[in-house]
Amino acid sequence: MVAAPGKKPGRRPGPSDTKPAILAAARELFADKGYDGASIRAIARAAEVDPALVHHFFGNKEGLFVAAMEFPFDPTVMIPQVLTGGPREEIGERLVRAFLGIWSQDEIRARAMAVVRSAATSDQGAEIFREFLTSAMLARVSEVLELPRLRILVAIGQMVGVVVLRYVLEIEPIASAGDEELVELLAPTLQRYLGGV
Amino acid sequence: MVAAPGKKPGRRPGPSDTKPAILAAARELFADKGYDGASIRAIARAAEVDPALVHHFFGNKEGLFVAAMEFPFDPTVMIPQVLTGGPREEIGERLVRAFLGIWSQDEIRARAMAVVRSAATSDQGAEIFREFLTSAMLARVSEVLELPRLRILVAIGQMVGVVVLRYVLEIEPIASAGDEELVELLAPTLQRYLGGV
């Protein structure tokens, strides 16, 4: 997919080749250099396109990362929407419902599981996931909610654990528990962590 | 290590060979048949020893499983101790402290991580882990605490998520957060789940 450095491709990439070539280069460079280390400029160079084209297709580095990792949805868009899409006193319930809604979709779940597994099994997967979570997501959520990062991570931890038990290990009765049962248990926990004073 | 069915070993296993042979047979049969499907009798047969010897070394099937999986501690002993080792109003704090204490030990952490990774990555690993958790642990904890299993799983989920973020992904600031900070955040959550009425 990606031409080796210095090697000229046999023909100029057509419009339908360009996007996959950028994504392939992005995956390669994110894997090699990590999230922080891989610049849009370097990715564009590896894909032999103009950096402006990368910005045109994917906006910024976060957008490119989300597309390259084949995230099933764009967390950089969705999470701030959920956080601020209603009263702060209902943030716990809103987060649990949004979360269960996403995971209830088969295709989304399959792709998200691949991300989770890669993060759990390869040091490189963990590294990339960690950098993205820290650089792109955690800083922003912490700023929007005006809360310390530790608090946000503990809340994320609750939902990560539910994912592991419900979707990865499929342990009963949490695997087939209804959404309402889970909202009742989990919403007050997230509310306490993220509700603010 | 384990002789194929019907194949007689060249010599009778000496005392120092017997235990590893049982453990190897147990790992093989738990992997093949799952936790519920692998009987002590079948494991003893595969290791070419008397089932009484298995009971002598490992007590019951739970004990054999814990030894075969090289769990870093015996959860079938430790968890009930922590649950009932103090007043119910402090169960949340007690659990968080016990949990952080275990994970703070390097060797224990390394071995526990191997268990977590196997459960996260192989369907077989997930299957065995799930069966053990359900058959051996969840039923007992639910009985001791007189609480529904879903409540217990949500509490376990909180701690599993903390493990993933703190020890597997090593995301800051949760990776290097002090125990007291984590107790303050997590103990009320576990207390609400497990404190009872």
Last residue of a domain, one of B28, B51, B68: B68
B85 and B177 assigned to the same domain: yes
B63 and B86 assigned to the same domain: no
A149 and A62 assigned to the same domain: no
Q: What is the pLDDT of residue A72?
A: 66
Which whole number is the average pLDDT over A180-191?
A: 97
Please list every residue in chain B whose beta carbon sits closer than 8 Å to the beta carbon of residue A194. Answer: none
B103 and B19 assigned to the same domain: no
Place of tokens 């392939």: A24
Q: What is the pLDDT of residue A14?
A: 57
Q: What is the pLDDT of residue B197?
A: 62
CATH number of the domain residue B180 falls in: 1.10.357.10
Q: Quick check: ipTM above 0.95?
A: no
**CB atoms inside a 10 Å sphere around CB B136:** 19
Name which of B156, B171, B181 is nearest A133 (Cβ-Cβ).
Answer: B171
With CB atoms and an 8 Å threshold, state whether A169 touches B193. no
**C-alpha–C-alpha distance, residues A4 and B3, integer Å:** 51
**C-alpha–C-alpha distance, residues A94 and A88, integer Å:** 9
CB B163 within 8 A of CB A194: no
Q: Which residue ranges of chain B lie beneath pLDDT 50?
A: 1-10
Q: Is A159 on the interface with B (CB under 8 A)?
A: yes
With CB atoms and an 8 Å threshold, state whether B150 touches A192. no
pLDDT at A86 over 60: yes
Please list every residue in chain A whose beta carbon sits closer than 8 Å to the beta carbon of residue B129. Answer: 169
Name which of B134, B159, B173 is nearest A172 (Cβ-Cβ).
Answer: B134
A108 and A36 assigned to the same domain: no
B97 and B176 assigned to the same domain: yes
Please list every residue in chain B whose beta carbon sits closer than 8 Å to the beta carbon of residue A169. Answer: 119, 126, 129-130, 133
Overall number of domains in chain A: 2
Q: Is residue B171 in a domain?
A: yes
Burial of B159 (0-12, 13-18, 19+ CB in 10 A): buried
Last residue of a domain, one of A51, A68, A85: A68
Phi, psi at A125, each rounded to 5°: -60, -45
A105 and A36 assigned to the same domain: no
Q: What is the pLDDT of residue B113?
A: 72
Q: Is residue A10 in a domain?
A: no
Last residue of a domain, one of A5, A39, A68: A68
Name which of B116, B134, B172 is nearest A171 (Cβ-Cβ).
Answer: B134
Please list every residue in chain A whose beta carbon sits closer than 8 Å to the beta carbon of residue B121. Answer: 117, 120-121
**C-alpha–C-alpha distance, residues A52 and A39, integer Å:** 13
Of A3-17, A23-37, B29-43, the least confident: A3-17
pLDDT tens column, B71-126:
767 777 777 788 888 999 999 999 999 989 888 888 777 777 766 666 666 666 67
pLDDT tens column, A127-162:
777 777 777 678 888 888 999 999 999 999 999 899
> Using alpha carbons only, how large is chain A's radius of gyration in Å?
19
Q: Is A124 on the interface with B (CB under 8 A)?
A: no
Q: In which domain, by residue range, is B22 found?
A: 15-68
Q: What is the pLDDT of residue A4?
A: 45
CB A29 within 8 A of CB A51: no
A53 and A95 assigned to the same domain: no
